[in-house]
A = this chain, B = another copy of it.
Amino acid sequence: MSGRRLDVLAIGNALVDVLSQESDEFVHEHGLERGAMTLVDAERAQALYDAMGPATEVSGGTAANTAAGLASFGASVGFVGRVRDDQLGAVFAHDIRAIGVEFATAPASEGAPTGRCLIVVTPDAERTMSTFLGAASQLGPEDIDSEVVAAADITYLEGYLFDQPKAKEAFRHAARLAHDAGNRVALTLSDSFCVERHRADFLDLVEGQVDVLFANEAEVRSLYETDDFDGALAHVRGHCEIAALTRSEQGSVVVAGEDVHIVDAHPVAKVVDTTGAGDQYAAGFLHGLTHGHDLATCGRLGALAAAEVISHLGARPETSLAELARAELELA
């Protein structure tokens, strides 16, 4: 990377999304877990792809989507994740650089191909994801450049990294480096099934190493094994410096010790596709946090970015978030 100061360094799975529209029967027939992200091997991914209808390819990955959103806000942001030196890897690298993210992880020259997330969209607009991690699973501590982490105000990590031992190691290594350099660590819990898979680890992390936590209601309830959002809120308040908890159309709650903000959702004319709402909320929030805004404004910027992304198909912004933010902040 260029050696310049970064607002955020995002670390996650480098994936290309492969989307098709399917019936509810398709989800049932292929034994998919509705609404969840399930890891699949190459063979299963191929069988599922063969069964899927005509598809569209678009760059994805949760932390990568957040990095794209931050770049759209005008933040300086880097991304670390593994692709292979193949066509889908070139697509991923093109798209993330084209939006202004520094992406310097060298593509693997051997091993599994670039990872992909097979996304089946059912008529209710819900998405069911089957991820073949491929080259993304090769991310390891050796891909984390200590100088780059030291140069980033916030190192942002996705929970999905815990699904692979090497990536988990990379995660812990990056968090340590960030704290050693006096910087902050942010985590998104990714999805409630991921929380179930790694609950003990995540609880440990949230208590000890995470400064900024992003979670939606299902994720934070799963983390604390409670059906009660308010109860989960009470737990999380004591555990990390800042928690931003999203609740779809009910907006978000931002807590930082005694400080609590209830932030309304940003109005949307028509919700087209909710994918990426959490990723973009994190982008807006982190942009605010690294640009001197108070926590309520961080939440509002998160809501603004989430509203943009759910108003169209796809998980990355199509409108300049910097311009939307300018208009929003002038109004305030």
Interface residues of A (CB under 8 A from B): 20-21, 49-50, 52-59, 68, 86-88, 91, 94-96, 98-99, 113-114, 313-314, 316, 318
| Chain B residues with CB under 8 A of A57 | 56-58, 91
Closest to A318 in B: B21
Chain B minimum-CB-distance residue to A18: B91
Contact B53 A98 (CB under 8 A): yes
Q: A54 and B59 in contact (CB under 8 A), knowing A21-B318, A87-B113?
A: yes
Query: Can you name the residue of chain B whose Cβ is closest to the Cβ of A46?
Result: B90
Q: A21-B318, A318-B21 are in contact. Are A55 and B95 (CB under 8 A)?
A: yes
Contact of A98 among B52, B68, B94, B98 (CB under 8 A): B52
Partner of A94, one of B49, B68, B114: B49
Q: A21-B318, A87-B87 are in contact. Are A68 and B54 (CB under 8 A)?
A: yes
Please give the distance in Å from A45's CB to the nearest CB on chain B: 12
**Do A54 and B87 have beta carbons less than 8 Å apart?**
no
- B95 contacts A54, CB within 8 Å? yes
Given A52-B94, A55-B95, A87-B113, 16 other A-B contacts at CB below 8 A? A49-B94, A50-B94, A52-B98, A53-B98, A53-B99, A54-B59, A54-B95, A54-B316, A55-B91, A55-B94, A56-B56, A56-B58, A57-B57, A57-B91, A86-B86, A313-B313
Contacts of A88 in B (CB 8 A): 87
Can you show 27 pairs from A to B with CB atoms below 8 A apart? A20-B98, A21-B318, A49-B94, A53-B98, A53-B99, A54-B68, A54-B95, A54-B96, A54-B98, A54-B99, A54-B316, A55-B91, A55-B95, A55-B98, A56-B56, A56-B57, A56-B58, A56-B314, A57-B57, A57-B58, A57-B91, A86-B86, A86-B87, A87-B87, A87-B88, A87-B113, A87-B114
Instruction: Identify the closest chain B residue to A16 (Cβ).
Output: B57
Nearest B residue (CB) for A51: B98
Residues of B within 8 A of A52 (CB): 94, 98
Inter-chain CA distance A86–B56, complex, in Å, is 17
**Complex formed: what's the CA distance from A55 to B55 in Å?**
15
Which residue on B lies nearest to A89, using beta carbons? B87
Assembly CA distance A55 to B57 (angstroms): 9
Measured in the bound complex, the distance between the Cα atoms of B54 and A113 in whole Å is 21
Closest 6 CB pairs of A and B: A57-B57, A87-B87, A54-B95, A54-B98, A53-B98, A56-B58
Q: Please report the C-alpha to C-alpha distance between residue A49 and residue B87 in the assembled complex, in whole angstroms.
A: 13
Docked complex Cα distance between A98 and B20 (Å): 11
Q: Please, which residue of chain B has its CB at the minimum distance from the CB of A317? A: B54
User: Which residues from chain B contact A55 at a C-beta distance below 8 Å?
Assistant: 91, 94-95, 98
CA distance A126 to B55 in the complex (A): 23
Provide the bound-state CA to CA distance between A50 and B98, in Å.
8
